[in-house]
Structure 1
Amino acid sequence: MDPLSLLQLPRASRPPLPLAAAAAPLTEEQQPSPSGEERFDWLDLWYPLAPVCDLDLHVPHGKTVLGLSIVDWYDRGAGEWRVFDDACPHRLASLFEVRIDDRGRLQCVYHGWACVASYPCVVQNNILWFYPRDDPEYKDVLQRKRPLLIPEIDDPDFVTVYGIRDLHYGYDILVENHMDPAHVPYAHKGIMRGIRKKEDPGRYVPEASFLPGD
């Protein structure tokens, strides 16, 4: 394979990560807890990376998911998207700021070789998803387990608008926020039909509790 020409490198959509970011993800191996209860396996899930309409077919895109540095890019030779480790195994060189050659292959900036670990990925609902395990036994995981399907996104009777927003808090706070029946009608007046006036907060009486021991 021909070495890279540094003058031809396309630029991707984020600044370089330090080499430490190319190390193993922060998630730990999922072992049974001391209480005997099975732990939730964060790596046994499909994760959405981006709507494909937001991805440039000609450059790789660097992302971090679960502490794992990855790069997604379009393989023109195969006509499909790929998701790789954002680190060449030889020198841990980042791959999000490299060249996609004339044959559609992602080449490392250091040697020009292409031999990095890849992850299962698929486009579904016009969104690129990836499965964060690159072991050989997960190569066909798509045949056993697919990403969450949202039929309305593919239904022409619905209007779909994609958006990405960085939130500076954990997922647990966001879930609680969306499940709070008194919050959305008051704080987000105008995004739901039949919503009350903003100055008229609702009164809610709980009919059931799902707390442990109740």
Structure 2
Amino acid sequence: MGEAAGPSFDWGRQWYPVSVAKHLDKRLPQKVTLLSEHFVLWWDKQHQAWKAAKDQCPHRLAPLSEGRFTEEGHLQCTYHGWHFDGDGKCRGIPQIEEVSKCSALDNPRAHLEVVPCQLKQGILWIFPDSTAEGREASQSVQPATVPELDDGPPGLVASRDTGLKRTIVHYNWDTLIENLVDPSHVPWAHHGIQGDRKKSRPIPLQRASKLETGGFTVSSKATLGQLRSGDPVEIDNTIRFKPPCLVMYAFNLAGVGKMLREKFIVRLLCSLGLGPRVAALDTDGRNMFYLILYAIPIEPGKSMVLSRFPRSTGKTSRPEWHDHLERMAVLDGDSIHLHWQERMMRLKPDGVRLFEQSYYMPAQADLAVRLFRNWLGNYGGGQPSWLQGSGELPPLQRDRRMILDRWLNHTKDCPYCRTAFCVFKSLRIVSTALAVCLPFTALGVMLTQTLLAPKERGRAVSLSGWLCAVASVGGVAAPLLASVEQRYVFIDYVHALRK
């Protein structure tokens, strides 16, 4: 592998981000899957906190995520009515006789397998070990949060609990991490969204830390020009991988801001509070832009991405439902590639372990990919510790719609996008109705004007004109609204048609 092996990474005793807290409905228990194991999340009214447990009732193993809440706020299984408090203790068995009730409720077998759960930086985290040793271990392991969101400039701290997006992707966790630590694919796979094919260039990545159980860091520096003083304008970038889930890019754009502020018009706009954000500086005299990405292993061939893109100069002014549309398009840009690629890799003889033989990576831009594959082989056991099975991928999905289905992968679980979809759909229906019905109404008004007094006929003609104008607006708006509505459901991403 080219790297010395070290202490093994313990997949089962780590904190995993599983959901965006603001996206969860406290009225409903929620199912999440991690490492092929199912868990239920619910809001405990007594402790005013989120709780998590394995998603099975101890009675007959029915899913508690299909449950409800009692008047006391207990999580109740809707198969036979057993209910449980926030600590997982059984508080009611409708079928048990009174004489046996106390012993049955006190029996440990009646309790849920609760796992540690906490809320940090707007994300709900679980520690998927329900044993006593696991609960103790959870105290000595910290979630892979981002310290800058707690201790950075005020503009950055203010965005700590905002800007999060959750999306399902149909490829393996290792493929997802490999893709996230690879900056050189951006101008190609995300052309026209986050990059430009014509501006692709070599990225001479360098190691910024040693490879160890806790991950690695790489860095790069790009020179864009020079200031009037002759000083170079540089963008410093670091990419950090912290297992099991965190990939973080940090860009220092202060040099770009200084170059822009040399222009009078930019200085004027900045003085009016209208300048470009890249020209602003935070309280530390920097302009930091972060890509914070969490890759969560759901099951073989299926992962989840939690993402946020904060700036040290303050949060974005774009509404989240609009911002999410762009991020969905970004993920669409390489989903087909990655779903196919990982299966081709596994067709090679021992293709994952012998990745250097499967891949040909002569460029320094592939350094982070190489380091990650070395980390996985030397520290991570070659793959996540799935609950069961060998981690074999499901068959190749040839239906592009299944891979790129935005409704199932994101919209249905995002309150911002789901609301936006319903609003655009309602507006489209109203616009269509206006475009279809108002011309007939106008025609009826015109036909009946002959029955009106002469002085009323002018008003009838004017009314008909207004009705036709509104119908025309509806006719133009309906297809535009339909196209936005469709962007929350499915858009086929064909690279050959992106100019």
Q: Common fold, TM-score beyond 0.5?
A: yes
Say whether 1:79 aligns with 2:48.
Answer: yes
CA–CA distance in structure 1, aligned partners of residues 27 and 183 of structure 2: 44
CA contact (8 A) 1:74 1:81 kept: yes
2:66 aligns to what SS in structure 1?
coil
Taking structure 1 as the reference length, the TM-score comes to 0.70
> How far 1:152 sits from its partner (Å)?
4.0
> How far 1:201 sits from its partner (Å)?
2.6
Quick one: higher RCO (CA 8 Å, sep 6+), 1 or 2? 1
CA contact (8 A) 1:51 1:128 kept: yes
Larger Cα Rg: Structure 1 or Structure 2?
Answer: 2
CA displacement 1:123-145 (0-9 Å, x = unmatched): 01111100001011222444311
Q: 1:203 to 1:150 in 2, by over 3 A?
A: closer
Partner residue, 2:173: 171
Say whether 1:40 aligns with 2:9.
Answer: yes
Partner residue, 2:81: 111
> For residues 184-203 of structure 1, what are the structure 2 equivalents within 5 Å?
184-189=186-191, 197-203=196-202
Of 133, 140, 143, the residue aligned with 1:137 is: 133
CA contact (8 A) 2:20 2:164 kept: yes
1:164 aligns to what SS in structure 2?
strand
CA contact (8 A) 2:20 2:166 kept: no
CA–CA distance in structure 1, aligned partners of residues 17 and 365 of structure 2: 36
> For residues 15-26 of structure 1, what are the structure 2 equivalents within 5 Å?
none
Partner residue, 1:157: 155
Structure 2, gaps ≥5 residues long: 85-110, 204-362, 375-499
Q: 1:91 to 1:126 in 2, by over 3 A?
A: same
CA contact (8 A) 2:31 2:39 kept: yes
Q: 1:152 to 1:188 in 2, by over 3 A?
A: farther
Partner residue, 1:146: 142
Q: 1:73 to 1:186 in 2, by over 3 A?
A: same
CA–CA distance in structure 2, aligned partners of residues 207 and 120 of structure 1: 39
Partner residue, 1:102: 71
Q: 1:162 to 1:150 in 2, by over 3 A?
A: same
Partner residue, 1:66: 35
Partner residue, 2:250: none
Partner residue, 2:483: none
Q: 1:119 to 1:153 in 2, by over 3 A?
A: same
CA–CA distance in structure 2, aligned partners of residues 165 and 186 of structure 1: 21
Aligned identity (percent) is 34
Report the more deviating stretch, 38-47 or 119-128.
Answer: 38-47
Taking structure 2 as the reference length, the TM-score comes to 0.32
Larger helix percent? 2
> How far 1:176 sits from its partner (Å)?
2.0
1:84 aligns to what SS in structure 2?
strand
CA–CA distance in structure 2, aligned partners of residues 73 and 143 of structure 1: 21
Task: Give the count of matched residue pairs.
Answer: 174
> How far 1:60 sits from its partner (Å)?
0.2
CA contact (8 A) 2:21 2:123 kept: yes
CA–CA distance in structure 1, aligned partners of residues 9 and 148 of structure 2: 28
CA–CA distance in structure 1, aligned partners of residues 365 and 34 of structure 2: 38
> How far 1:199 sits from its partner (Å)?
2.4
Partner residue, 2:319: none
CA–CA distance in structure 2, aligned partners of residues 165 and 108 of structure 1: 28
CA–CA distance in structure 1, aligned partners of residues 35 and 68 of structure 2: 26
CA displacement 1:7-34 (0-9 Å, x = unmatched): xxxxxxxxxxxxxxxxxxxxxxxxxxxx
Q: 1:202 to 1:208 in 2, by over 3 A?
A: closer
CA displacement 1:168-209 (0-9 Å, x = unmatched): 1112222222222321244335666xx6x4323324553996
Q: 1:50 to 1:207 in 2, by over 3 A?
A: closer
